[in-house]
Amino acid sequence: MKSWQQFLSNQGALFSENTLQSFGKPKEELQTARTGNVLTSLAHLGILEISGEDAVTFLQGQVTNDVKQLDGNNSQYAGYCNPKGRLLGLFLAFGHADHLHLQMPLSILEPILKRLKMYVLRSKVSIVDKSSDILCFGLAGANSAELLNGLFGLHPDKEHTLITLENATLLRLPGACPRFLIFTNQAHAETIWNALSENSQLVGKPVWDWLEIQAGIPEVVPATQESFVPQMVNLDALNGINFKKGCYTGQEIVARTHYLGKVKRRTLLAHIDCTEEPQAGNSIQMAGQTEAIGEIVRAAPAPEGGFDTLVEIRLESMEEAGAKAFWNEHQLIFKSLPYTLA
């Protein structure tokens, strides 16, 4: 992976603690994300590969979604809970050949890998970290589909559709802005990157985070592990929970939350006009109060300045406060999510 990082550095990439921050023009990169095509390397995300005769059965008993529906042509979001129904991780899951892949932040991959292996027992299952072998690019923008057509001759035309080619796997993500993941290996990475970069602005992780936030996609990082029941971060609205699949760790709590009626805590999209960056796990309060009514799920710099955030919050408190909530005395300005909450 160091050789790939060196390749990006030669193209102007700037890194902080091995995370791609920008290509030297962070403000310009953010502005382009609103109207043009952007390309980034998603090396801050890792991939676990689960294979073996019992792989599907094993994973079915671990995560919130029905992995039996993964047929090599699709993907899905899924949560991984502790016995109390609190999320240890959120994955983008998809099948490929005779195995399953789980994509997640590298920051939680090692403990997730260790925990999953604890439950393998006598199952015929192999769980391997493939983060160093599989490179992942993010491509987004109004013309991104045309760029893929020009390079590969086709593109996934529906959300969560997966196409496997000889030199890459293409996956379309949900959201109003067309966004795609391109998975490949070191042998093909430079050729694909160079072709796509001809008509795309190269950007860092903060820009991709901003696009994820606009799509309402939450994430779980070390600071927020075991903080949320899946519905609190809208996993049900993202079709990341299957309520008919049967047992998995934490299933009883997740099902109870669903069948008892309206979810009391949800994740909302909000803008914060400030210069200090909010961090995942930071508390949200009502005006003049010290008690937390929610917390930051994820945040990223916004093109107009300040930060856009996904905020998990107690809906009853929002109603009492007249929709006024604050982070570090900065008021949250709420925006519409791209999907409907029940």
Domains of the chain listed by start with CATH number: 1-215 (3.30.1360.120), 222-335 (2.40.30.160)
- CA–CA gap between residue 212 and residue 308 (Å, rounded): 10
Backbone torsion region of residue 57, taken as left when φ is above 0, otherwise alpha when ψ lies between -120 and 50, otherwise beta: alpha
- CA–CA gap between residue 170 and residue 286 (Å, rounded): 43
pLDDT of the chain, 342 residues: tens digit per residue: 568 999 999 999 999 998 999 999 999 999 999 999 999 999 999 999 999 999 999 999 999 999 999 999 999 999 999 999 999 999 999 998 789 999 999 999 999 999 999 999 889 999 999 999 999 999 999 999 999 999 999 999 999 999 999 999 999 999 999 999 999 999 999 999 999 999 999 999 999 999 999 999 999 999 999 999 999 999 999 999 999 998 999 999 999 988 887 789 999 999 999 999 999 999 999 887 889 999 999 999 999 999 999 999 998 887 765 678 999 999 999 999 999 998
pTM of the predicted model, to two decimals?
0.96
- CA–CA gap between residue 171 and residue 202 (Å, rounded): 19
